[in-house]
Structure 1
């Protein structure tokens, strides 16, 4: 009998263990599959309640519907009016407990803005622009500001931009120095709303930055502002802010380095008018240098035939006026890796535009070439051509030949055909291409009507990638003709050229200078093969900058 009982107990023991393992393991499994969680935490309960009057509590308890985390809470969470001693933020399961460490002012409305601090645990979904409001008196401030933020060069809505206000009495003390106590973030349509504001006069700004500090302290950040202070004595709406990369107050070099090929790159923090670079040391290098600038004239690259030096001193000038001097060291025997490569003036389909010569551009200045080592074939038959230097670019040559539409060509550049200024020679290379047909191109004529002939405008034609293909400065109603443009989609934008220099100019916050306004034609222009199109464009009056 005892043996039967023992067997029974053993069987039940192992059954219990098996069930425990099955259900125990199942209980700790994370559910698999299903839709991804896209919902941020949701507030279930606030103690004291949001919008409480005659507030006298020492702490606030916020209960959410899921587990959450705080991200950069001392950067993202602000309380207005600002307190000298910051509150403490403590997480207790699904609760956030805010403990005040400073005395609250009497008869004052407080707004706690959580920015992007509150996120769920699994997917980091952000509870954006959540605020908790209370008043230590019987009245809660209820005024509001709302509007929209756009990019000044594209007119596109800017999401995730920080909109901030400062009381005008504190503007010069706080803006660009401390993060704002009153701010919000634009939604996916660029809209913003600031609520529970006290009556007063404010300065308003928008900021798009990579770092989360909400302080305008970097020339690379995008900034927007309103020229006029906002006198808030009633709800104010339709505020438009245009973000721009401002003209820096002071010139500086943002980057200087020797590249792997021995060239030195110098990047400026702004565009220069008639820039020039002069090598001060070693002095004998200045007359043999080759300098090229990018299209926006905010960076330069220096090529030097003689690399036998251990340091370099370069002066940067604008309109022959010295701006700065940089100093860069290198090993006297330091070796550089150079590979002479080429690019060609072919379109996106690898075809040569009708009537064009083939333009070969090297990555380094060309010292010499041997035409006998370069062959051109048409439909597999070698042909005779002319090779000439580009007098405007020491890195380029032209292959001159009567290229015939629809024919297939092969350019073969044999080894050592080109020699750069350092004595390096190219490896064997080449490219197949086709001479394009004229019917794949179109002519576009823009009939532009301007609103005010006393002012200047810049008409820009952009491709589908928003790259400017051509700019024309005009002062009167005129026709602009664009011949030989590849079929595709194009856009037109117009700069209200305030200073009449033929290009768009940015603004400056400190000088209270707004960027020049841009109007974008709302119709996309489609060019079809072998087509002559006309498009009437009536430029509207320039909007008044707020």
Structure 2
């Protein structure tokens, strides 16, 4: 049957519709794929009024950038010097930032608006760091500068992205640690800083590596630095050296306390202790059954109690027998705990034991007793005799003695019920396979330390490439440190100038105005070669030459 005109036209309409979709799809703008990542922050194209304007009378400022941007933490990041009673209002309009002033500006005054890290592009978040807008309500713009660098005392590395702050001396005691500074900047990747457009006067300068972006030193975990003497600014001042350190809190405080799932009490202190001890003062009779395991830096403690039949416990803390604090910790009398005895060994990640060393078995729970008959050691699949004993000072540690041989394959089997912890729990069966490392993978390192002044005391610390502390020595005269049978690799030497002769590094105090003890890091890695005796002579510089 012949098609009418309308029916004959339908296929043509369909073909035209498909073609149109194809053309539109081809012409649509797609986001480019691949290519280098945008690492460029927004760039200022125009400021109205212009930056560095004199005789400023405007009520607002418009800053035009080359791309879309966002403001982050503007009221924490953006500061104005001198401070205004009423903060300006910040509005984003397309690619421009409009700043409306709510306060009347002082006459003949230089204003500096520091945007900190507030401005970043929308897509990649690239931050426009330390951007400032400066203007003066008079004919003169303040132009003095303060510059220098910031170093981390512990690592001796230049500290990037540390906040450097200036407080007028008259406001220092009122603002520092309480309010955000109005004059600040951020160090660059080399730890350098410059504060510009400053008015003459007397200032206190600080550096802060903070844990929160409020620019207020209010946390014991934050790093702080300060110059002991105020800066009398009447000309450009350079070469200011600031050393960041973690201040040791004056007052002892427990920042965490809880029962773990296995029943032990866990405590975290706000500072390390020199000679800590713990006593259970309630319930009576509990203290005699406890075992306390302090962390390596004496700022944590695990307390194991054999008798857990109580609702609450009272714990007293001491340092050098001096009482520090007493706390209560509650638990349900019928509360149950889950325990599983696990073990660690002095074997490296390659399952290698160091030649000449005993095999150390460390439990996660204090061991009450063990049965050597349920422990088996095989050498190339043949069972061998050994001796094992519990460490007198550490109930978690078992020392297994055997004359291990090169090229032999060993397997340690801890059969079920071999170990009984202080609660009466038994271990499950476990295995550990290992071999003896080659003696030629070890060497002897002798480090000769040459002191600049025999009237002063020093502490030398030897570290491996992972910055783990291996050995510490105290000395006042030229001395040698011998590391015998150490793994080949790179080693570092760090020296503490022990001004109070107590054998440890002492931090500083902002309140007392004391700086931390100087640390010097030998700038050369000492390479210990395999099966070799290496000797290195280290000349310690005079403390007066350090920044």
Q: State the secondary structure of the residue aligned to 2:24.
A: helix
**Partner residue, 2:303:** 302
Q: Please list the CA deviations of residues 492-514 of structure 1 after superposition, one character each: whole Å capped at 9, or x if unmatched.
A: 11111111111212111111111
**Partner residue, 1:364:** 365
Compared CA separation, residues 5 and 337, structure 1 to 2 (3 A): closer
The 5 A counterparts of 1:190-201 are 190-201=191-202
* Segment drifting more, 143-152 vs 339-348: 339-348
Q: CA deviation at 1:200?
A: 1.1
**Partner residue, 2:474:** 473
**TM-score, reference length from structure 1:** 0.96
C-alpha separation between the residues in 2 aligned to 1:305 and 1:70? 57
The yes-or-no answer on 1:215 pairing with 2:216 is yes
Q: Please list the CA deviations of residues 441-484 of structure 1 after superposition, one character each: whole Å capped at 9, or x if unmatched.
A: 11111111101111111111100011110000011011111111
The yes-or-no answer on 1:430 pairing with 2:412 is no
**TM-score, reference length from structure 2:** 0.96
Contact 2:176 2:216 in 1 (8 A): yes
Q: Give the number of aligned pairs.
A: 544
RMSD: 2.0
Q: Please list the CA deviations of residues 150-192 of structure 1 after superposition, one character each: whole Å capped at 9, or x if unmatched.
A: 1101111111111111011111110000010011111111111
C-alpha separation between the residues in 2 aligned to 1:126 and 1:156? 23
The 5 A counterparts of 1:54-73 are 54-73=55-74
Q: Please list the CA deviations of residues 171-228 of structure 1 after superposition, one character each: whole Å capped at 9, or x if unmatched.
A: 1110000010011111111111111111111111111112100000000111111111
**Partner residue, 1:162:** 163
Compared CA separation, residues 78 and 26, structure 1 to 2 (3 A): farther
The 5 A counterparts of 1:315-354 are 315-354=316-355
Q: CA deviation at 1:389?
A: 1.3
Q: State the secondary structure of the residue aligned to 1:448.
A: strand
Contact 2:211 2:221 in 1 (8 A): no
The yes-or-no answer on 1:461 pairing with 2:435 is no
C-alpha separation between the residues in 2 aligned to 1:362 and 1:405? 27
C-alpha separation between the residues in 1 aligned to 2:35 and 2:355? 56
Q: Which runs of 5+ in 1 are unaligned?
A: none
Q: CA deviation at 1:36?
A: 1.6
C-alpha separation between the residues in 1 aligned to 2:48 and 2:14? 50
The 5 A counterparts of 1:116-515 are 116-515=117-516
Q: State the secondary structure of the residue aligned to 1:213.
A: coil
Q: State the secondary structure of the residue aligned to 1:74.
A: helix
Q: State the secondary structure of the residue aligned to 1:243.
A: strand
Q: State the secondary structure of the residue aligned to 1:283.
A: coil
**Partner residue, 1:528:** 529
Compared CA separation, residues 20 and 103, structure 1 to 2 (3 A): farther
C-alpha separation between the residues in 1 aligned to 2:76 and 2:367? 53
Q: State the secondary structure of the residue aligned to 1:170.
A: helix
Compared CA separation, residues 139 and 19, structure 1 to 2 (3 A): farther
**Partner residue, 1:113:** 114
The yes-or-no answer on 1:44 pairing with 2:24 is no
C-alpha separation between the residues in 2 aligned to 1:428 and 1:460? 41
Q: CA deviation at 1:359?
A: 0.8
* Segment drifting more, 76-85 vs 342-351: 342-351
Q: Which runs of 5+ in 2 are unaligned?
A: none
Compared CA separation, residues 220 and 26, structure 1 to 2 (3 A): farther
**Partner residue, 2:94:** 93
Compared CA separation, residues 21 and 175, structure 1 to 2 (3 A): farther
C-alpha separation between the residues in 2 aligned to 1:259 and 1:38? 46
Compared CA separation, residues 332 and 5, structure 1 to 2 (3 A): closer
* Segment drifting more, 413-422 vs 397-406: 397-406
C-alpha separation between the residues in 2 aligned to 1:430 and 1:20? 67
Q: CA deviation at 1:6?
A: 12
Q: State the secondary structure of the residue aligned to 2:75.
A: helix
Q: State the secondary structure of the residue aligned to 1:173.
A: helix
* Segment drifting more, 344-353 vs 148-157: 344-353
Q: CA deviation at 1:16?
A: 7.9
Q: CA deviation at 1:430?
A: 2.0
Q: CA deviation at 1:11?
A: 6.2
Q: CA deviation at 1:275?
A: 1.2
